[in-house]
């Protein structure tokens, strides 16, 4: 649902027909590599909007939140893709890692781990217990990063190099899912 006055998307009404997709870039674009989720979503959205009209409706958002607030943004969608940076120290910088929500390592959500909020998996569980119409599928694409706490609008070279690969994978995923939905 569009808010013409503000120019941003409002979440669909919980009683409406679920929208097909939401793709969310998480992070803070002022903290170096932590902004990679935003950069990827901006690129994907730009190319997706220039694609043929036979693709499913996809909403794109860039957010700096997690836990319960992020869960609320997922209400009313059938599928969600969340893109963020991750610091595991186990993969080369710029590596692309895919997770189902259930397989998301606990440490990947540590910035939302406080007495004021919760992790995304816990928030989704709470939302489902409350009857929120949440996506049947939530996938996370994480980009291995190192510099997520430095004040900078620049991405490290390895993380920046991951953007075109991630963009292609996301566009292919949406196209594959759309073909599967039509079959």
pLDDT at position 11 over 80: no
Among 149, 82, 69, 85, CA closest to 117: 69
So what's the pLDDT on residue 3?
A: 34
Q: Calculate the average pLDDT of the chain.
A: 82
Most confident of 66-70, 148-152, 170-174: 170-174
3-state DSSP call for residue 69?
A: helix
Rounded CA separation 161/68 (Å): 31
Alpha-carbon dihedral 23, 127, 115, 119, rounded to 10 degrees: -40
For residue 154 the two structure tokens come to 């620049």
- Range with the poorest average pLDDT among 4-8, 88-92, 105-109, 144-148: 4-8
Mean pLDDT of 115-137: 84
Q: Could you tell me if residue 151 is inside a domain? A: yes
Supply angle C-alpha 45, 11, 33, rounded to 5.
45
More confident residue, 113 or 135: 135
First to last CA, the chain: 27
Q: Could you tell me if residue 135 is inside a domain? A: yes
- The CATH number of the domain holding residue 151 is 3.40.50.1450
Q: Could you tell me if residue 127 is inside a domain? A: yes
The residue count of the chain comes to 183
So what's the pLDDT on residue 114?
A: 52
Most confident of 62-71, 111-120, 160-169: 160-169
Q: Could you tell me if residue 120 is inside a domain? A: yes
What total of structural domains would you count in the chain? Answer: 1
| pLDDT (tens digit per residue) in 20-75 | 889 999 999 898 888 999 999 999 999 888 876 667 788 999 998 888 888 999 99
Q: Could you tell me if residue 13 is inside a domain? A: no
Structural domain including 65 reads 18-182
| pLDDT (tens digit per residue) in 73-87 | 999 999 999 999 998
Q: What sign for the dihedral angle of Cα 70, 71, 72, 78? A: positive
pLDDT at position 113 over 50: no
Q: Could you tell me if residue 1 is inside a domain? A: no
pTM for the predicted model, two decimal places: 0.82
């Amino acid at each position: 649902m569009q808010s013409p006055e503000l120019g941003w998307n409002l979440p669909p009404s919980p009683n409406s027909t679920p929208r097909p997709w939401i793709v969310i870039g998480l992070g803070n674009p002022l903290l170096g590599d932590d902004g990679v989720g935003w950069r990827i979503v901006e690129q994907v959205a730009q190319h997706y909007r220039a694609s043929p009209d036979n693709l499913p409706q996809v909403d794109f958002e860039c957010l700096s939140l997690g836990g319960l607030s992020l869960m609320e943004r997922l209400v009313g969608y059938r599928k969600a893709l969340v893109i963020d940076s991750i610091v595991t120290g186990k993969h080369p910088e710029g590596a692309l890692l895919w997770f189902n929500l259930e397989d998301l390592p606990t440490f990947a959500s540590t910035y939302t781990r406080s007495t004021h909020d919760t992790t995304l998996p816990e928030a989704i569980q709470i939302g489902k217990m409350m009857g929120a119409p949440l996506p049947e599928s939530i996938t996370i694409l994480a980009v291995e990063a190192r510099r997520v706490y430095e004040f900078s609008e620049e991405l490290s070279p390895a993380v920046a190099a991951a953007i075109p690969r991630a963009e292609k994978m996301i566009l292919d995923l949406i196209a594959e899912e759309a073909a599967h939905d039509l079959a």
